[in-house]
Amino acid sequence: MTGEKKGTDLSNRLKRPLKSNLRSSKSPASTISAPPKAAIATGKPKKDDLHRRKNPFNEMLRQKTTKEASSSGPPISEEREEEEEVQHARAGSIGSIKSIQEAKATDRIADLERALALARENQHAMQDELDKVNQHGVVYRETIADYRRQLSDTYNSPRLASPQMDYEPDDSPSPSFGKPHDDLVDENYDLRSKVAELQYQLTQQDALHRTKLDEARFRGEVDWNELTGRLHNSEKESGERLQQLLDLKHSISALTRMESQVTDSELVEQLEQLHHRIREWVISNYRRTKLNFGNLSQETARALHGIHPEFTKVDSTDRLAFYQAIIASTLMHILREPIFIGLPESGPLSAIRHAATYIHDAGAEYHEWRRTTIRALEKSEVNHALQQEREKTLYRMAGDIEHQLFSLTSTNLSPQARSSLLSILNAAADLHKSLLLQKARYHLHSFRNHTDGPTYFDEQRMEMINDIDDVDDDGDTQIDRIFSFCVFPCLEKFGDEFGEKVEVRNVLLKAKVCCGVG
């Protein structure tokens, strides 16, 4: 606030003397354009006018001393407020202390930045005023030079009424011959005295302006240095407080966090993004294809039979959903791994896979053992070998998907499409590992048709994605919708976030299915 008042007073001091400069710069121009006699008619400037030009500086000095005297109070009140805030902050909790100090530091930094910007504006304004004063001085000196030149031309020009040019010489003495010459000499002396007086006034005014500008510049530099120092101190203090706050948050999170734990909404969002990527990949690569079941190998037919026992009866309008079901069926091999994808089936590490198949029904102890085993394998030296095995397995699965789709559509994939498919499989593997590291129990279920009878539509766990005509010829609505095949699995949660109360089941994400009318 003190910087703003000083900046306002300083700008007022610099603005007021400009009017006198403009008046003084206009008066020589009018004197030059007028004839010499008019210049003689104008009298010397009055002492009252000169005194009136000096009064604004005295008034400004009085205003400055008054405002400086009035500005000496606020810092004491600010110190008292800071002491009260510190006492209040000590009585509060650690979180409230840090939030109050952070907000206060932010406000102080904002005030210092505004004061700093105002000081810079005042410095630029003083520089502009100094340039204007210099320009006025140059114009004033040029005007005086022109005025002198006119006087010299007038004094040295030949007299038009000379008797030697228009009349014959007259030897009779003229009593008034020396009077015009004396008048010109007096006029010349008067003009010279005016010029000297104007030069003296200009010199004094220039010196006064320079003194004022130097003082203002010095005060501006002092204020600038003070504000810069205060800003640096505030930034340093703010950085220290921020570091303390970060350390406090880190310590609190270290005491209360659960490693690798994510919320249900985050898991659902990851699954929805995975389904969206599969659908977009199928549409971009197979939207113009047709189903052809004539050239299927036994391996491909066995895989399609696992998806839908009567896959040859799939309608052509549901072909894109059927392609997605083929990819989702391969993803279920990843999501059903007992530990994680990439664990070899032979060798020393295969014992971990076999142990998981034997103790999977041990409840919370099994889940805790699985989380510990996964973290230990990630931090061990075999992690690199496991990552390589994972890449090989995912690459083989991508080749199986491409082969099955080629058998149905006779369409070859581009290298970019293969890379996108491999990226989808990697995302599924990461999601599977994230599910295994949770304390809560999650289950991904992909529905299948049974041989003993049809599977009916379950509204609690299924979401139909195809359009069917459920109205008969009489206009009655048919409610028996028969499950055809699963396009994407559903996600169920058993118990709470700590793996307890497993009898409680929640469906977090419904399965995407295609249905027919019974």
Would you list the domain boundaries of the chain? 2-70+83-155+183-255, 264-336+393-517
Cβ count near 423 (within 10 Å): 14
Q: How far apart are CA 220 and CA 218, in angstroms?
A: 5
b/e map 395-408, b = 16+ CB within 10 Å: eebbeebbebbebb
Question: Strand, helix or coil at 513?
Answer: strand
pLDDT per residue rounded down to tens, the chain (518 residues): 444 444 444 444 444 444 444 344 344 334 444 444 444 444 444 444 444 444 555 555 555 555 444 444 444 456 666 666 666 656 566 667 677 878 888 888 998 999 999 888 888 888 888 888 888 888 878 888 887 788 777 655 544 444 444 444 444 444 444 556 777 888 888 888 889 888 888 888 888 888 888 888 888 888 888 888 888 888 888 888 888 888 887 777 655 555 557 788 889 999 999 999 999 999 999 988 888 888 888 888 898 888 888 888 888 888 899 999 999 999 999 988 888 888 888 888 888 888 888 887 777 788 888 888 888 888 888 888 888 999 999 999 999 999 999 988 888 989 999 999 999 999 999 999 888 888 888 889 888 876 666 677 888 888 988 876 655 555 555 556 778 889 999 999 887 776 677 777 889 999 999 887 65
Q: Which residues pair with 506 in a beta bridge?
A: 493
Q: How far apart are CA 388 and CA 228, in angstroms?
A: 57
Helices 415-436 and 383-409: crossing angle in degrees, nearest 10, is 130
Q: How far apart are CA 465 and CA 490, in angstroms?
A: 14
For residue 120, what are the contacts with CB-CB under 8 A and spacing of at least 6?
224
Closest listed residue to residue 15, CA positions, set 99, 144, 132, 189: 132
Matching residue, tokens 């066995």: 302
Q: CA 187, 190, 194 angle in degrees (round to 5)?
A: 135
For residue 353, what are the contacts with CB-CB under 8 A and spacing of at least 6?
338, 339, 343, 344, 345
**DSSP H helical ranges for 157-263:** 163-166, 179-256
For residue 89, what are the contacts with CB-CB under 8 A and spacing of at least 6?
96, 97, 100, 101
pTM higher than the cut 0.85: no
